[in-house]
């Protein structure tokens, strides 16, 4: 057994009883999640898979999808057009903050908050709703290396209750930041949030970004490598909402969370890491996930600005079976 696998097992044991946080309930369907679900998964850029706990449990991807939709919007429209409609500035506000459109440009601040994600999703290319949805699903399949499905009950649940997101879309339509068919844009956004994944899937998607956009197992390019830097930069500054600064300080790698309890993070050039636990804090981030990432970062010197340890310690742990 590798040192990394042993440490993941240890982390699972340490945190699987941590009961802080609550299961998200504002989307009624999310309430059905089991608070005990907990998984940790690591996939290296050469396709080796490590994991502990419920890494094959399916759940809806929620806001983690914003990362990948941003990449697809960049590929669809190019950087300049996307940046006309959505900025790259952190807000320090909650993910569903309604009113903070940039005062001068009227753009939503960034693609990781709901308003910015709705604007981004509306930029995905396609001749109509079905073609856009197919492009979105094919994109997810390139990252995952297998077929994806939308969880219809979650999609319908959010579609019928997502009034706040609808209000944002109307406001952005008023400011010409989104095309006229806001219902189609919202449906596509709700669909992207309802894509079913597992913890291991998230780690594979993260590993793809860590590998310049090339899926480590299929070796297919999931996203144009020119845009990986754009994606990782926005994740680093905005991926954890109003905890983005604290995360950058303590964990120090680009990451994204979702209200269903997933977090994925990228160790550039090395690996993708994901955690899944539906118990989330007031910022919408998984409580157990944050603790696990803080420990992994500290142990293996994963922080991008940690010059003392060197990330070779992490690579060694994925291979070495001896005691450190």
Catalytic residues: 63, 66, 189, 241, 259
Cα 148 to Cα 141: distance, rounded to the nearest angstrom: 6
Residues whose CB falls within 8 Å of the CB of residue 115, separated by 6 or more in sequence, listed in order: 97, 98, 101, 108, 109, 168, 171, 172
Question: Binder to ligand DON among 258, 261, 272, 289 (CB under 6 A)?
Answer: 258
Tell me whether residue 3 or residue 279 sits nearer to ligand DON (CB atom). Answer: 279
Cα 280 to Cα 240: distance, rounded to the nearest angstrom: 12
Contact in structure between 62 and 259 (CB atoms under 8 Å): yes
Contact in structure between 52 and 14 (CB atoms under 8 Å): no
Which of 234, 195, 218 has the alpha carbon at shortest distance from 63? 195
Question: Binder to ligand DON among 44, 57, 63, 110 (CB under 6 A)?
Answer: 63
- Helix (H) / strand (E) containing 256: strand 255-257
Question: Binder to ligand DON among 122, 257, 315, 318 (CB under 6 A)?
Answer: 257
The reply on whether position 158 binds ligand DON by CB under 6 A is yes
Report, in Å, the least distance between residue 17 CB and ligand DON.
23
Which of 143, 186, 132, 196 has the alpha carbon at shortest distance from 163? 186
With contacts defined by CB under 6 A, name the span among 32-40, 212-220, 257-265, 304-312 that binds ligand DON: 257-265
Report, in Å, the least distance between residue 154 CB and ligand DON.
9
How many residues of this chain interact with ligand DON, rule: CB under 6 A?
Answer: 12
Kindly write out the interface string for residues 168-207 of this chain, putting x where it contacts ligand DON by CB under 6 A and - elsewhere.
-------------------------x--------------
Q: Which residues bind ligand DON (CB under 6 A)?
A: 62-63, 95-96, 114, 158, 165, 193, 257-259, 284
């Amino acid at each position: 057994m590798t040192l990394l696998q042993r440490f993941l097992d240890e982390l699972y044991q340490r945190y699987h009883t941590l009961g802080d946080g609550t299961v998200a309930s504002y989307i009624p369907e999310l309430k059905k999640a089991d608070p005990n679900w907990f998984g940790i998964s690591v996939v290296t850029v050469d396709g080796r898979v490590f994991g502990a706990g419920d890494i094959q449990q399916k759940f809806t991807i929620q806001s983690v999808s914003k990362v990948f939709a941003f990449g697809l919007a960049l590929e669809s429209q190019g950087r300049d057009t996307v940046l006309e409609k959505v900025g790259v500035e952190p807000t320090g506000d909650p993910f569903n903050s309604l009113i903070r459109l940039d005062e001068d440009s009227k753009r939503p601040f960034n693609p990781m908050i709901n308003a910015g994600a709705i604007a981004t999703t509306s930029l995905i290319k396609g001749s109509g709703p079905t073609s856009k949805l197919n492009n979105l699903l094919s994109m997810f399949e390139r990252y995952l290396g297998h077929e994806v499905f939308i969880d219809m009950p979650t999609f319908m649940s959010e579609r019928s209750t997502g009034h706040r997101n609808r209000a944002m879309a109307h406001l952005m339509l008023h400011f010409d930041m989104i095309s006229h068919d806001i219902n189609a844009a919202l449906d596509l956004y709700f669909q992207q949030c309802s894509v079913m994944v597992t913890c291991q899937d998230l780690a594979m998607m993260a590993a793809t970004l860590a590998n310049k956009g090339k899926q480590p197992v299929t070796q297919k390019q999931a996203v144009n490598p020119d845009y990986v830097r754009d994606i990782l930069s926005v994740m680093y500054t905005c991926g954890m909402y109003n905890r983005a600064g604290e995360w950058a300080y303590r964990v120090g790698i680009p990451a994204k969370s979702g209200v269903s309890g997933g977090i994925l993070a990228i160790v550039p050039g090395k690996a993708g890491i994901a955690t899944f636990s539906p118990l989330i804090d007031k910022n919408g981030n998984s409580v157990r996930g944050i603790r696990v990432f803080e420990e992994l970062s500290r142990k293996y010197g994963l922080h991008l600005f940690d010059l003392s340890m060197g990330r070779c310690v992490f690579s060694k742990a994925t291979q070495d079976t001896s005691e450190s």
